[in-house]
Amino acid sequence: MEVRDYELDCEQIVNNANYLHYMEHTRHKFCADAGMSFIEMHNKGIDAVVRKIEVEYITSLRGGDSFLSCLRLERKGPRFIFHQDIIKTNGETVAQGIVTVVVLKDGKLSRGDDLAKVFAKYIR
């Protein structure tokens, strides 16, 4: 991805809230690539809901920077844990996040087994 001008604050660095957008976009793209987009999930009565986000900001992205937004996935009981890294194209880690997601099935908390099947080859 590339930093867009409107994501910068008055100090000409990316505003911290935008990192959450980058991470969310990455999770949505991952789900679609794994076999079930967020729209498909919702249409099947499955809603993946963020329960908790922890972000460690290490350095700043600036205007014109390009970066990778990466993730790996683990499952702890009914929770899906996304470990996400934002890395400049020069290899420098910018931010690290841990995003905990729970799953609602038809509006009720579930174990998320439907998604676990879709994500099976990616879960560590």
The per-residue pLDDT for 43 is: 97
Provide the CATH number for the domain around residue 60.
Answer: 3.10.129.10
What's the whole-model pTM score?
A: 0.93
pLDDT of residue 124: 82
User: Which domain covers residue 48, as residue numbers?
Assistant: 5-122
| Model pLDDT, residue 49 | 97
Residue 77's region, left for phi above 0, alpha for psi from -120 to 50, else beta, is left
Total number of domains constituting the chain: 1
Mean pLDDT by 10 residues, the chain (124 residues): 95 96 98 96 97 98 96 97 97 98 97 95 92
β-strand partners of 93: 87
Sign of CA dihedral 108, 112, 113, 114: positive
Q: What is the pLDDT of residue 11?
A: 93
Q: What pLDDT does 64 receive?
A: 93
**Six token digits for residue 59:** 């350095």
Name the residue with tokens 């409107």: 6
C-alpha torsion sign, points 89, 93, 95, 99: positive
